[in-house]
Structure 1
Amino acid sequence: MEKTILDKINRFTRRKLTEDEVYIFDLVLCDNDIDRDCERFSDKALEALRERFIGRTGIFDHDAAASNQNARIFDAELITDESRTTEYGEPYKYLKASAYMVRTDNNKDLIAEIDGGIKKEVSISCSAAKRICSVCGNDKNTVSCNHVKGKRYGGKLCHTILDDITDAYEWSFVAVPAQVNAGVTKKYSEADTVKAHENADISAANEELRRDIRRLAYFAGGRAAADIASVSAANLDTQQLIALRKSFEAQCGKGGAEVQLDDSAKDEEQTSDFSMR
């Protein structure tokens, strides 16, 4: 092991660890391509995440209990893959991180599962202050527009660009379907939300609210809470959906737009990026 790697790790330890005491693995946290929820990170956001995720702990299923901490990121780099392009035609970029664990009797099974490819899907939680419409450039956190994510305008897919990262909370090993917690849980003022619904397709807006509610419910209480929230939200109107979302936002208790990206449902080629060593 290179001495510089141990130096980076030992910035976070109370005593200097040796090569035999640590287990190191790499993971891909996120990228700049449009995800299945029609959102992506800007290059500026990826660079901010690169800086902010150094030192962040890894947990399971976004359960923030201290006993659930299992690893820590000690280095990260933004990589450009010139052989690939994004859906919108730019070079593919991804945020690769290096994490470490202290080898103990308690985590030897986890290490074996990482090496065996059982534990490999990763999701992140962070805060993005800007949500920019790819069509008109408006920040949807402050100015509404009637462009709908997933529709095409002038032959180009409308999507939301996540920018102005204000914090990175944690990263997690996950084993849930991507539709549960992939994407962004939005936090507008109620007035902005109502205005957006007046200008946009009501049916599409309500479906987006229901997805937000399911993600927030998952973040607040796990899969069971998300399933219950989906049933509760199924027949609610716009104002009722807004109220329900606000109640889950209060439970989560964080400002900004909470990003939880679950890469478990990427295509086979991209999933291989999550193979840890």
Structure 2
Amino acid sequence: MSITIKTEADVQGMRIAGRLASEVLDMLTAHVRPGVSTDELDRLAHEHIVRVQGAVPAPLNYAPPGYTPYPKSICTSINHQVCHGIPNERALKSGDIVNIDVTVIKDGWHGDTSRMFIVGEGSIAARRLCQLTYEAMWHGIAKVRPGIRLGDIGHTIQTFTERQGYSVVREFCGHGIGRKFHEEPQVLHYGHPGTLEPLVPGMVFTIEPMVNAGRREIKELGDGWTIVTKDRSLSAQWEHTVLVTEDGYEVLTVSAGTPAPPQLAPG
């Protein structure tokens, strides 16, 4: 495994890219309401990234091996969609939950983050899923420091999530990030403590658990991108990009509108 360790200059570039990605979500927040289409959200995001930020939307035409090029600038995953939902003309309605995933490239550096949005009045079950998924991500982030192993992060997220009666998607994971959209290491959101790679200062990766209200099994739709829960249960996801520092961590995807870290109860 070849993990790229970032220099202080690299990290400064990633702070800027991370802030810009988060600011796209800040900008979109007022527009996520009943009646708006995810196509419109994509258009707004694209215009902001390109014209205001002078950056590049990383998902647009992204095509890893075996995939057709992704056709939009953001991912919008609604209700039982787990990840990689493609924006379209469907209008959001009150009660929907939607994950908006933004990755920008600025001066060659990638910033990657996502948030959950509840459209109008969400159900108690939907609100609980979104909140506890946010807490699951932060339980993982709070573990980050030199010397722990990636398996410690995954174990912490899995244990917290399953104690709430939810399940963790295993086919998708967090990832290293920097000059490339996806780098080593893979950051699993499940696993065993004391396993996998040890963390060292200068590592940068995403933590982005996908949590299902029902079973963890998923399937891919015919568009080749959108992933949904097999049992059509609701799914939620949050994502931050995290730097391993000398004595802990720094979240790089922060902006004025970033939700505050939760008060974490013991997992």
TM-score range, shorter chain: under 0.3
TM-score relative to the length of structure 1: 0.25
- Whose radius of gyration is greater, 1 or 2? 1
Q: Which protein is richer in strand relative to its size? A: 1
Q: Specify which structure has the higher proportion of helix.
A: 1
